Structure formats: C-alpha cells, structure tokens
A and B are shown apart, each in its own frame.
Chain A
Amino acid sequence: TQLLEQSPQFLSIQEGENLTVYCNSSSVFSSLQWYRQEPGEGPVLLVTVVTGGEVKKLKRLTFQFGDARKDSSLHITAAQPGDTGLYLCAGEEETSGSRLTFGEGTQLTVNP
C-alpha cells in the first residue's frame, strides 16, 4: 500500500513554464519533506514543512503543507533546465519514530 501518492509521475515542460507537483495521502504526517535526486546521485533534502498550512519558499520553489497535514504541493515558477530531476516527497507519521515513507517520485524534465 502506497501511503504517499505523487502526481504527476512524469512532467516534461519548456524553460520558463510554471508547474506544480502534488503529494497526497490519507494519513496525517507530523512533518513532510521534499527531496530532489539527480541521475546517479542520492536524494538531497530541499525543505521540511511541519505546521498545517505552512508555506516555505526556496528561490523559485514554493512548498505548501495542507491544513490537515495529509498533503503537500511543490510549485516551481519559471522552470529552468537545472530544475530537471526526480522530486520525492516523504512523510513522517506521528507513530513511525525515525522512519519516513516516500512517494514514488515525479520525474521533471525542463527543456531549453
């Protein structure tokens, strides 16, 4: 059972376009993290959101945690080829201790 569902699974856009990636669950999370992974490397943490309704910005990336702490979104403004990569969301359930549950990922390709 996949606790975290990401959509879309694949996204190919042109440089300068905006996009949104979604991460949804029926479970409540005490925190939710977003990672980016480039080919041949391990995932790298981008941001952690903790409070329901929280919005965090990282340059052109905006992350939002749902009010009920069951979902999250990642919005990229004016995408650049350097944004290309696999974006993974990961949730920490209140009863899971130090474990994270990862979504399947969204493969983003930004074409110049």
Chain B
Amino acid sequence: NAGVTQTPKFQVLKTGQSMTLQCAQDMNHNSMYWYRQDPGMGLRLIYYSASEGTTDKGEVPNGYNVSRLNKREFSLRLESAAPSQTSVYFCASSVTGQGIYEQYFGPGTRLTVT
C-alpha cells in the first residue's frame, strides 16, 4: 500500500515550457486535490476532484489544468510555465467518515521555472 505517489519529485522548466505532474492513490478514495505551497502562504488549493469524472477550481487555478483520469489518478498540467509557478506541489486524497474529509498527501514535486 503506497498511499499517494507523485512524479516527478523535482523538475526545472524554462518559461513557456509545458509539463504534467502525475498523482496516483491506491486507497480507493473518492476525492483528490492539488495544492501549491509557497513560503509564508501555507497550502493553497489549485483544483480538486470530489469524485471520478468531476473537477472544480480551487483558490488559485489560473495557469493550470487538471484531468481526473480514473478513480486512482489525478494529473496537473502547466501549459506555459511562468516563474510565478515556481513552488512545491502536493497531491492529496481523502476518505470520508461522517462527512469528515481527512487528507493524505503525497511527497510533493519541487518545480522551478527559470
């Protein structure tokens, strides 16, 4: 049971390049999330998927797109990377118990855009 896995762990992009961050979970969770973490700003939600086949914008969706490929996988795409997207990206999934959404996080992807 690997939990939440993310690839790659590190990435350096040039401005304007594109890339896709991959995330998979093996816990049979319905909900999945993408966050970015910047110093002094905590975790900010980019997009989330409450269930397979649905996606919704979070707090900071501009410049990103997502795909919920199936129940296990949720990818994040940067179409044209900008230096402002330099950040650490975390994927998470959640189980529901009496309406409580406790989240399980992956190890993160450290992205630098030059």
Count CB-based A-B contacts (< 8 Å): 61
**Which listed segment binds A: B12-20, B40-48, B64-72, B75-83?**
B40-48
List 27 A-B residue pairs with CB atoms under 8 Å apart, sorted by A's residue number: A33-B102, A33-B103, A41-B107, A41-B108, A42-B92, A42-B105, A42-B106, A42-B107, A43-B90, A44-B105, A45-B102, A50-B100, A88-B42, A90-B43, A90-B103, A92-B100, A92-B101, A98-B50, A98-B94, A98-B96, A99-B48, A99-B58, A100-B101, A102-B43, A102-B44, A103-B42, A105-B42
Looking at chain B's contact residues, the main secondary structure is strand
* Residue of B42, B45, B90, B108 with most chain A CB atoms under a 10 A cut-off: B42
Question: Measured between alpha carbons, how far is A86 from B33 in the docked complex, in Å?
Answer: 20
Residues of A close to B42: CB separation below 8 A: 88, 102-105
Sorting the interface of chain B by its residue count into under 10, 10 to 19, 20 to 34 or 35 or more gives 20 to 34
Q: A104 contacts B100, CB within 8 Å?
A: no
Interface residue A97 (Cβ < 8 Å from any Cβ of B)? yes
Q: A42 contacts B108, CB within 8 Å?
A: yes
Residues of B close to A50: CB separation below 8 A: 98, 100
Which one of B4, B94, B101 contacts A42 once the chains associate, using CB atoms below 8 Å? B4
Residues of A close to B106: CB separation below 8 A: 42
Interface residue A7 (Cβ < 8 Å from any Cβ of B)? no
Q: A31 contacts B92, CB within 8 Å?
A: no
Question: Measured between alpha carbons, how far is A70 from B101 in the docked complex, in Å?
Answer: 18
Q: How far is the CB of B44 from chain A (nearest CB, A)?
A: 8
Question: Measured between alpha carbons, how far is A105 from B38 in the docked complex, in Å?
Answer: 11
Q: A103-B42, A105-B42 are in contact. Are A43 and B105 (CB under 8 A)?
A: yes
Which residue of A is nearest B49, CB measured?
A98
Interface residue B99 (Cβ < 8 Å from any Cβ of A)? yes
Question: Measured between alpha carbons, how far is A110 from B105 in the docked complex, in Å?
Answer: 24
Q: How far is the CB of A80 from chain B (nearest CB, A)?
A: 23
Interface residue B31 (Cβ < 8 Å from any Cβ of A)? yes
Residues of A close to B90: CB separation below 8 A: 42-43
Residues of A close to B107: CB separation below 8 A: 40-42
Residues of B close to A104: CB separation below 8 A: 40-42
